[in-house]
Structure 1
Amino acid sequence: MTMDIQAIETLAVKTLEDFKGRDIQIIDISEISDFADRMIIATGTSTAHVKGVGNNVALAFKEAGFPALGVEAGPQPDWVLIDLGDVIIHVMTESARAHYALEKLWEVKPTGEAAE
């Protein structure tokens, strides 16, 4: 089964919200990435919460007939990554999210002359 980007976004955000993921952001990376079109980032309150939210997101997609291509997390994760092909979901603790600053890393810079 396939899901379009909008359906993936909708199910991801609903599941993240249902399991109390905070500060959910969707970043369109289609113009600057060749491996995915969207990145969805959410914050969990602890490593146990991050792990639980990540597991429930992966389960929601499996139950929808669109299982994740991969789920990466350690035993006490401060970051869980769910790879859905065109969409990558990151669930992170607040400290990991601040440290890695994915929103800033993936923001599109204006084009123009290089700074001297």
Structure 2
Amino acid sequence: MNQTDIKLAELVAQAASDKKARDIVIMDLTGISPVTDYFVICSANSTTQVQAIADNIEEQLAEQGIKSFRKEGYREARWVLIDYGNCVAHIFVEDDRQFYKLERLWGDAKQVAYQG
């Protein structure tokens, strides 16, 4: 486990927590996904909160000199994905999180509930 990558995932989780994201989970995909090492998945009560969480993640990481490679879904704000390379943030409205079930889809990954 790369300490830099887990630290990145923890920074994302903390920034989400700062905006009252719910059910924050860090998933270790090392050796499971060829695309990324960590997912940070969280829920929001509304599309407005999804955007606020996404904005805070980007602002907090930018202050650390960390820029995202891409962001998707921001306009609709039901599921925003922010790609940091070795860590990908997924911010959902609750209904969409239950529908897509990423935690089950990537069931082989070690999951840690984030307690901010």
Q: TM-score, normalised by structure 2?
A: 0.86
Q: Work out the CA distance in 1 between the residues paired with 2:32 and 2:103.
A: 13
Q: CA deviation at 1:10?
A: 2.1
Residues 9-35 of structure 1 show CA distances to partners (whole Å, capped at 9, x for unaligned) of 221121111110000001111121111
Identity over aligned pairs, percent: 31
The answer to whether the 8 Å contact 1:81/1:91 transfers is yes
The answer to whether the 8 Å contact 1:58/1:71 transfers is no
1:1-80 superposed matches below 5 A: 4-80=4-80
The answer to whether the 8 Å contact 2:27/2:39 transfers is yes
Amino acid at match of 2:7: A
Runs of at least 5 residues in structure 1 that lack an aligned partner in the other structure: 110-116
Q: Work out the CA distance in 2 between the residues paired with 1:10 and 1:104.
A: 21
Q: CA deviation at 1:59?
A: 1.4
Runs of at least 5 residues in structure 2 that lack an aligned partner in the other structure: 110-116
Highest RCO, 1 vs 2 (Cα 8 Å, sep ≥ 6) = 2
Aligned residues: 107
Q: Give structure 1 regions of 4+ aligned residues with deviation exceeding 6 angstroms.
A: none
Q: TM-score, normalised by structure 1?
A: 0.86
